[in-house]
Structure 1
């Protein structure tokens, strides 16, 4: 495979010798275990019947088990799809319950419970972030499917258009944009989420021979402002840009510690369309989906971008290696963080996990895996490979800055002590006092060092736990002396100075 990789790189003009580039990106080296790394997983709900008709206990059991699995693989972010078709996997005053939750859109659950609230609690308990994933413009994947009377399309059918058998909220109608901002504010204000997440669906993927039917909104909101048929693409991009800008502002004014993340389609522009584009030949964000992703990063409207670079290395239309380098260069000087969206099935089928993980370590700040389903079914042994070879230890997320700039570190832990139960099991407990606010401790990290190892929080292999709990069961440690370091972590993932305590077992 390395031979094929080399030939593909050579054909793209990306190297002059195999050793120079492969060494540069670490493909010939050992894995570099990261202390800070995004290890996110998309947990989709659309087209799934996993939760339909389940009781509260049954539904919570499914979600709890899946989060526990992701935690066992040392993943640290769950991107939970809570609005797939103008519906809700949460208790909403603006959207009907999702049919993928209750079996019928708008129907209340069998027992009163809130999946989003439950997942948030489970994630935070396990030291993981929860990013609420919404699809803004898709009203229905099947325009002919029955919809609730509470669905926005039932109340305002003129805000929607049908395209390629889908029902789409017209991005050119500012009334629809106002509704989307109301939805976002409801989620941000009502739930302790860590980020709001959007994927690649803006203007819909173009279908051959079909023009997007936005002539009505264009006549009303485009032509009066000087746009013509020749500049209609600019108008469409303006519509999406305005939504992203306003969404950023809604979040910033409500809870400035909540991030906005986007996982766009993997190609921004092809070089054939613009000299700055990538050496690819596929569909384009800028020209086809009207998503000017780099503008959003330049303006500081988005906190992270995770392009869906789902193709394999050497793909003739969209080479994973070419795109990883391209996005790295495009986002290098931006405050926006860069993660890589990885397709598990394609990667495992192509036997490219090792190369992609090493490439990601060199060029990005982590990965988001698509989808959680493949980890649940352990497709081709992906779970063991991640746990044993790439994510053997927990990881903090990369530090990030909100609109107010760099956050101060949280206060260190005040005190710690050991206690023993009736079965002689030893646990460590600690106390921490802090002021209220986003800079306060959200999680605690715990490092355990055997005698003879110099304690340092830089040594990732001794990081044992990240959670929101102020206690830790020491378990079956071998006899000997240990030094334990405890740190506090705030919402911006800044880590306090360590508190040190030792124990003889």
Structure 2
């Protein structure tokens, strides 16, 4: 081979290696979010009748677990069906919080206020997640009589509701509860549609419903320091209770369409515009009051069947009338999170994650908005009762796909319990040790305030006198220019978080240059102190800190402060002499319990749960584990009361114990 060819091959090899390194480099700014569902107590709280202190402890524990996994944003559900998991004068306290709708927590606390404060301490964003239209997941036995006798009710509803109204009947619909006097079903029954005798939604075509929902959301924006407002994909109802599921349903909004046509001749176009108009009204209201608050929606993952080419199935545009492209084109949202709960496919299946993610990304970027796709993490959990479970590598592959598309700015996982509680095939470990090993700020939105904050002051680094690898950092808050941060209505955004950097160097580093590397960012925190456990290094550890605005714009860094050289940070821990499996705690339990076990050696370990008939219920652990003590949470929310067996297996050793679930 000639010298010139050798040099050319070397250059190509170096360029390829550089490109590969850039692709594999973790992003310094990435949206890493999860949904925490409160409806029917899916994620939190475990039940509505737990003591307040347990609810608080559970919430902070889950925030700690999410933070440890690298999650930097939480969608926290505060309105599930015309109720409130926060202190509202407009809607009743949720039964999912207190066990009975309309009953305040005792002792009193406000979960939204609490979770905002706790999230901000951890440097996380908190987006309040509300369902805008759903009024009742199931119909109470007395609701039909109230709505049927209301003189303001649309006449087209009465034939549908007639069979509900039976004053002599003592039969109650299963799983229903009476609605509180503050609930919209009692305050404004004339606003509601009853779909196939199953569910009730607020009529999206009524101007008073639009105004009411804007009022509800803006009450949250005005009174709470939320970072964002988030809507899920429930607009008009999903099948089987959608508008087109029966002639009766299709006719429910005939009179509303006739009264408020707004120039539309086609009712489907009008229905989509009802949603668009409400989204626009809310967006404009947020911009006036607190323009720094982000507004995002997570629509169903298929916009229109056949788009992109080869995609088919139910679509949001024609079935539930959610037009995500309209919101992007009108720029009435800041981000979109299409729910792409499908896998990559090899043979041209009708729904393909990669194809849909790339198509949505093109639409978002073309309209200068962010996209953070929603991942169906629940489909990779052994706790999910489904015939369509993902392979273990499916979600990791989707994250890698997102990172390789420069138009995609992050990921959102449904749902939080699949990170903090369910096994999900070791996904939380993958986040901690791989994808989210390094901290990340959320992406900056170019259309919001990009003013950099002032720098923190007086950075001090102290070394632990006994543990030479532990460094205690502290600093002072920067001054905030109140005048430039005030909104048109007088609200002031004073929220600042901090990015903590560590660089190993023989002399004081160039902090501005070192800020660019994601590997130097060791933590994001909302507090003015941080404890770092530094790895061994032949060079000295240097630290510096930046202040970060609500829109994730960084200040100039502080001067670097030297911590010193770490020779070793290995702690001496006692390794158990033999494998052991402890009794779960609490026991009996409902619905979550903790299982602790000791491993004398590293190796492949499984922890499985069986019912009394010997059928496997779930697999909590199935991976290589290190020697030492381990604790795993078991959530039995979806199981019936009874005795269950949990079995620990490692090598030739198998240990079992009994536990009791009482609901």
Same fold (TM over 0.5): yes
Local SS of the residue matching 2:33: strand
Listed one character per residue, the Cα deviations across residues 61-95 of structure 1 (whole Å, up to 9, x for unaligned) are 01000000000011100100000010001000101
Is the 8 Å Cα contact of residues 373 and 412 (structure 2) preserved in structure 1?
yes
Local SS of the residue matching 1:450: strand
Query: Residues 379-398 of structure 1: matches in 2 within 5 Å?
Result: 379-398=424-443
Listed one character per residue, the Cα deviations across residues 38-65 of structure 1 (whole Å, up to 9, x for unaligned) are 0001000011161411222111001000
User: Are residues 489 and 439 of structure 1, via their aligned partners in 2, closer, same or farther at CA, if it must alter by over 3 Å?
Assistant: farther
- Report the Cα distance in structure 1 between the residues aligned to 2:213 and 2:220, rounded to whole angstroms: 11
Tell me which of 231, 255, 261 is aligned to 1:219: 255
Local SS of the residue matching 2:115: helix
User: Are residues 253 and 59 of structure 1, via their aligned partners in 2, closer, same or farther at CA, if it must alter by over 3 Å?
Assistant: same
Local SS of the residue matching 1:312: coil
Distance apart, 1:205 and its partner CA? 1.0
Count the aligned residue pairs.
474
- Report the Cα distance in structure 2 between the residues aligned to 1:222 and 1:28, rounded to whole angstroms: 61
* Aligned match of 1:41: 34
* Aligned match of 1:238: 273
Tell me which of 83, 92, 95 is aligned to 1:96: 92
* Aligned match of 1:435: 481
Given the alignment of the two structures, is residue 320 of structure 1 paired with residue 383 of structure 2, yes or no?
no
Distance apart, 1:217 and its partner CA? 4.3
By relative contact order (CA 8 Å, sep 6+), the higher-ranking structure is 1
Is the 8 Å Cα contact of residues 123 and 129 (structure 1) preserved in structure 2?
yes
- Report the Cα distance in structure 1 between the residues aligned to 2:247 and 2:301, rounded to whole angstroms: 23
Query: Residues 418-433 of structure 1: matches in 2 within 5 Å?
Result: 418-419=461-462, 426-431=471-476, 432-433=478-479
User: Are residues 416 and 70 of structure 1, via their aligned partners in 2, closer, same or farther at CA, if it must alter by over 3 Å?
Assistant: same
405-414 vs 136-145, which moves further: 405-414
Tell me which of 396, 404, 409 is aligned to 1:365: 409
User: Are residues 265 and 224 of structure 1, via their aligned partners in 2, closer, same or farther at CA, if it must alter by over 3 Å?
Assistant: closer
* Aligned match of 1:141: 137
Listed one character per residue, the Cα deviations across residues 419-466 of structure 1 (whole Å, up to 9, x for unaligned) are 568868752221222212267561010011122595501111221111
Local SS of the residue matching 2:254: helix
* Aligned match of 2:365: 332
User: Are residues 301 and 108 of structure 1, via their aligned partners in 2, closer, same or farther at CA, if it must alter by over 3 Å?
Assistant: same
- Report the Cα distance in structure 2 between the residues aligned to 1:415 and 1:321, rounded to whole angstroms: 47
- Report the Cα distance in structure 2 between the residues aligned to 1:460 and 1:279, rounded to whole angstroms: 38
* Aligned match of 1:120: 116
Query: Residues 73-472 of structure 1: matches in 2 within 5 Å?
Result: 73-144=69-140, 145=176, 146-164=178-196, 165-207=198-240, 209-211=245-247, 213=249, 215=251, 217-222=253-258, 225=261, 231-271=266-306, 277-314=308-345, 316-347=349-380, 349-351=390-392, 352-363=394-405, 364-376=408-420, 377-402=422-447, 405-419=448-462, 426-431=471-476, 432-436=478-482, 437=485, 442-452=496-506, 456-472=514-530
- Report the Cα distance in structure 2 between the residues aligned to 1:504 and 1:293, rounded to whole angstroms: 50
The TM-score with structure 2 as length reference comes to: 0.68
Distance apart, 1:153 and its partner CA? 1.0
Is the 8 Å Cα contact of residues 402 and 409 (structure 2) preserved in structure 1?
yes
- Report the Cα distance in structure 1 between the residues aligned to 2:531 and 2:66, rounded to whole angstroms: 21
User: Are residues 440 and 111 of structure 1, via their aligned partners in 2, closer, same or farther at CA, if it must alter by over 3 Å?
Assistant: closer
User: Are residues 188 and 35 of structure 1, via their aligned partners in 2, closer, same or farther at CA, if it must alter by over 3 Å?
Assistant: same
User: Are residues 446 and 132 of structure 1, via their aligned partners in 2, closer, same or farther at CA, if it must alter by over 3 Å?
Assistant: same
Given the alignment of the two structures, is residue 58 of structure 1 paired with residue 103 of structure 2, yes or no?
no
Listed one character per residue, the Cα deviations across residues 402-430 of structure 1 (whole Å, up to 9, x for unaligned) are 5xx54211112233223568868752221
Distance apart, 1:482 and its partner CA? 1.8
- Report the Cα distance in structure 2 between the residues aligned to 1:87 and 1:31, rounded to whole angstroms: 44
Local SS of the residue matching 2:559: strand
- Report the Cα distance in structure 1 between the residues aligned to 2:247 and 2:275, rounded to whole angstroms: 18
- Cα root mean square deviation, aligned: 2.5
- Report the Cα distance in structure 2 between the residues aligned to 1:419 and 1:30, rounded to whole angstroms: 36
* Aligned match of 1:17: none
Listed one character per residue, the Cα deviations across residues 205-237 of structure 1 (whole Å, up to 9, x for unaligned) are 132742573646432444563767x61101101
Distance apart, 1:298 and its partner CA? 1.2
* Aligned match of 1:496: 555
Is the 8 Å Cα contact of residues 471 and 563 (structure 2) preserved in structure 1?
no
Distance apart, 1:322 and its partner CA? 1.3
Distance apart, 1:125 and its partner CA? 0.1
Is the 8 Å Cα contact of residues 222 and 235 (structure 1) preserved in structure 2?
no
- Report the Cα distance in structure 2 between the residues aligned to 1:282 and 1:212, rounded to whole angstroms: 24
Q: Unaligned 5+ residue runs, structure 1?
A: 1-22
Tell me which of 63, 66, 70 is aligned to 1:70: 66
The TM-score with structure 1 as length reference comes to: 0.88
Distance apart, 1:381 and its partner CA? 0.7
Is the 8 Å Cα contact of residues 23 and 404 (structure 2) preserved in structure 1?
no
Which has more radius of gyration? 2
